[in-house]
Structure 1
Amino acid sequence: MTDFLIIGGGIAGASVGARLSHLGQVTLLEREDALAFHASGRSAALFETRYGKPSTMALSQASATYHHEANGGVLSPRGLMLAAAEADRDRFEADMATMGLDRITAQEAGALFPILDTQAAPLVGYHDQAWDIDTDRLVQNFAAEIRAQGGTVRTRAEVRHIDRTATGWRVDIGTERLEAGTIVNAAGAWVDRVAHMAGVQPLGVHPLRRSMARIPAPEGMDPAAWPMIFGPGEDWYAKPDAGALIVSPADEDPQPPMDAWADDMVLAEGLAQFEAVMHYEVTRMLANWAGLRTFAPDRQLVLGPDPDDPAFVWMAGQGGYGFQTAPAASRLVADLVAGRPPEIESEIVAQLVPHRLRG
């Protein structure tokens, strides 16, 4: 019998498994062939602490030291730029204030992002307090911590059935049956399905598709040092990626839990927005993909034991912030499970625990 059975092997499951491995025996289950297969493997992976809901920003800020220092750190400099046309001044100014960006000149913008058309987008803000996250290294660091504490990480392990027992849970994986004291639901877009199998009230989460296109860098240019760039209100964004650029239309289209794929028309619209403010015509895509970002009804993370059954623990609703919040979010779950005073302020904890969604 394992103490903690983690369902889901993305960044949510790996991080919370690592934290809980110091409290008891952990078994982590991932349905796919590898960890971080779905949303976690399709992330733009930026660490920027002044983005999202106040509770999300608090988790991001509390994760900074871990990201910078733990296991040698997983961050590398990137920077963040916001570019807008004059017609979008109101949204530009709102984003500037929210994200704490500094206004820069056209000349400065051109030096940072050489293909930006500063006549089409004369409003530009920037700061250097944004970093790329080495997502694979972070996931593997957490998985290694689970193993170092005597835990088990299993792939190709699809949960088929869950029963409540007097001492915890009985979980069927194909013809194999596991027993656990506590289930941790870190199944991403599938968290409500896992809850339903366990006889626990679902959260009412909604998975939303986010699409991405990978395009060649302009001929003769190396974008490695360019910042990530956003349109106002996050209409679109682009980011250097291994000698190329990734561009997203920042779509949020409802989808059932599935192995998502990008819609060609949605990608075309996003690329057109990108081209409208660039000295660059996109003539081909190198690749495209989509992932599901899963949100609770109030678009805040859901962390901690279920109020109706504390042996069922949520690590859910990351909504695209899973990597940047993982160190603090997983620590909070472990604190709540262990009955320790959380490091996060109590008013923030109240915005994150499942109890808030049980009206």
Structure 2
Amino acid sequence: MKHYDVAIIGAGMAGASLAAEIARHASVVVLEAEDRPGYHATGRSAAFWSETYGGVGVQPLTSASGPILAEGGFLSPLGSLHIGRAADRPTIDAFLAEFENSNITLAEVDPAAQVPGLRSEWTLGVSEPSCSYIDVAGLHAACLGAARRAGVEVLCKAALVNATRDAAGWLLDTAAGPVRAGIVVNAAGAWADRIAKMAGVRPLGIAAYRRTMTQIRTEPLAPEGLPLVADIGGKFYFKPEPGGRLWLSPHDESPTEPCDAAAEEIDVALAIERFEGVVDWRVAAVEHKWAGLRSFAPDRLPVYGFDPREPGFFWCVGQGGFGIQTAPAGAMLGAALLLGHTPDAAVRSIDAMIYAPGRFDA
């Protein structure tokens, strides 16, 4: 039986990025339940980077990740447009006020100038030009590649069955055989509370939600240069893709048990209904549909840090729908907390305490 300094449960973006970050300082194994990494949330991402997404509590992680992602070639220009009707003026004002003291460029614009065929009642718009496409598959592969080159072992089909703690550390029974580790990192996404229970650790209340996505073809085709278009009230968003296609979501959050999520017809129909209330384009075909899991802590902020009652158990969970865009900074912050190191300069100004698992004790 092999012994590692750290065993990370979950090979999605959270686990892969953290593994790559700590690999130079510790022996690491990543235990993935599926037959390939990134099967659930990571592999089904909407694939955009937006500094306002997730609110001001998440924004420092997103903003710190931006330069790292850009330097790695994982971002490309997109831009976003938050739109609303006249009745949404208070929501627009609150949105602008929320980010007033950030360095994010936001400007009120005429949305009709950016969205041909926009229906006349959509009169309010806020432009966020920094919003970008993000190469999720490329980023995830880069993290896994860096981790493996540094000696990390990634075991797939290695679902955790049981975890016990003794004087030597953790004994992990997995579908791929037993593993010994000094520290367990819970990066299991929607399954995080189940992993905690197996280890005898009190769950944090990580809840899973289903998010629906569809790829549609419209008549006319979506024009070149279209930004990501999002309802300021959180009822839909759509994003241009190659070939004039759109990725469309009803921005749903349906509570669910952790599972292999699939799109439901009622949610696809709702997305189309909302879309057709925004523009006068016809939906000619639904070419693809899927759903992914998003998992949130009770306060909807991510969780990084050692469990206050079990110091050998580290939480790296609750990344919601912003786990991809915050991955570099989240991994840096998590690595510093895990290893007891001074945080990297890129994240040193971020207050890690707001993401600590001990905050739920209050």
Q: Give the number of aligned pairs.
A: 352
Query: How far apart are the structure 2 equivalents of 1:121 and 1:222?
Result: 18
- The reply to whether residue 353 of structure 1 matches residue 356 of structure 2 is yes
Cα pair 1:55 1:352 within 8 Å, conserved: no
Secondary structure of 1:6's aligned partner: strand
Q: Deviations over 1:206-264 (max 9, x none)?
A: 11111111111434x35453210001222110011333111111111111111112222
Residue 55 of structure 2 corresponds to residue 53 of structure 1: yes
Please name the residue that 2:34 is paired with. 32
Are 2:83 and 2:232, in contact at CA under 8 Å, matched by a contact in 1? yes
Q: State the AA in 2 paired with 1:291.
A: G
- Distance across 1 between alignment mates of 2:324 and 2:304: 15
The answer on whether the counterparts of 1:224 and 1:242 sit within 8 Å (CA) in structure 2 is no
Q: Is the 8 A contact 2:229 2:239 kept in 1?
A: yes
SS of structure 2 residue aligned to 1:322: coil
2:74 & 2:237 partners in 1: Cα distance? 22
Contact 2:216/2:246 (CA < 8 Å) preserved in 1? yes
Partner of residue 171, structure 2: 170
What residue is the counterpart of 1:197 in the other structure?
198
User: Normalised by the size of structure 1, how large is the TM-score?
Assistant: 0.92
Deviations 1:27-82 (A, max 9, x none): 1121112211101111112112233233311111111221111xx32000010011
Residues 139-184 of structure 1, C-alpha deviations (whole Å, 9 max, x = no match) = 0111011111111122222111212121211112226111111111
Query: What SS class does the counterpart of residue 204 from structure 1 fall into?
Result: coil
| CA apart distance, 1:187 | 0.4
| Equivalent position of 1:4 in the other structure | 6
Is the alpha carbon distance of 1:78 and 1:347 closer, same or farther for their aligned partners in structure 2, counting shifts above 3 Å? closer
Aligned counterparts of 1:12 and 1:144: Cα–Cα separation in 2? 14
Distance 1:347 1:325 in 2: 12
Evaluate the alpha carbon distance shift between residue 324 and residue 105 of structure 1 in structure 2; reply closer, same or farther with a 3 A threshold.
same
Q: Partner residue of 2:323?
A: 322
**Cα deviation per residue 1:252-307 (whole Å; 9 max; x = unaligned)?**
11111111122222222222111111021224311211111111111110001111
The 1:252/1:120 distance shift into structure 2, 3 A limit, reads: same
Distance 2:74 2:176 in 1: 39
Match of 2:297 in 1: 296
Decide whether the 8 Å contact of 2:158 with 2:176 is kept in 1: no
Paired position in structure 2 for 1:104 = 109
Structure 1 residue ranges without an equivalent (≥5): none
Q: CA offset at residue 25 of structure 1?
A: 1.0
Unaligned ranges ≥5, structure 2:
100-104
Aligned to 2:102: none
Q: Aligned to 1:266, what secondary structure does the other structure show? A: helix
Matches within 5 A, 1:328-347: 328-343=329-344, 344=347
User: What's 1:73 paired with?
Assistant: 73
| Displacement of 1:94 | 2.7
Please show how residues 252-263 of structure 1 align to structure 2 within 5 Å.
252-263=253-264
Q: 1:307 to 1:264 in 2, by over 3 A?
A: same
Contact 2:53 2:322 in 1 (8 A): no
More helix by share: 1
1:23 aligned partner: 25
Deviates more, 1:183-192 or 1:207-216: 207-216
In the aligned structure 2, how far is the partner of 1:63 from the partner of 1:281? Answer: 37
1:42 aligned residue: 44
State TM-score, norm by structure 2. Answer: 0.92
Aligned to 2:86: 86
User: Paired residue for 2:158?
Assistant: 157
Is the CA contact 1:4–1:20 (under 8 Å) kept in the aligned structure 2?
no
Question: Equivalents in 1 of 2:315, 2:55: separation in Å?
Answer: 19
* Residue 124 of structure 1: how far off its partner (Å): 2.1
Percentage of matched positions with identical amino acids = 38
* Structure 1 segment 119-268 matched on structure 2, within 5 A: 119-174=120-175, 176-219=177-220, 221=221, 223=223, 225-243=225-243, 244-268=245-269
Structure with bigger strand share is 2
Amino acid paired to 2:332: R
Residues 217, 223 of structure 1: 8 Å contact kept: no
Task: Provide the rounded CA distance (Å) in 1 between the counterparts of 2:82 and 2:361.
Answer: 38
CA distance in 1, matches of 2:75, 2:25: 28
Shift of 1:120: 3.0
- Equivalents in 2 of 1:105, 1:224: separation in Å? 18
SS at match of 1:278: coil
Contact in 2 for aligned 1:102/1:126 (Cα 8 Å):
yes
Contact 2:81 2:111 in 1 (8 A): no
User: RMSD of the alignment, in Å?
Assistant: 1.9
**Structure 1 range deviating more: 224-233 or 34-43:** 224-233
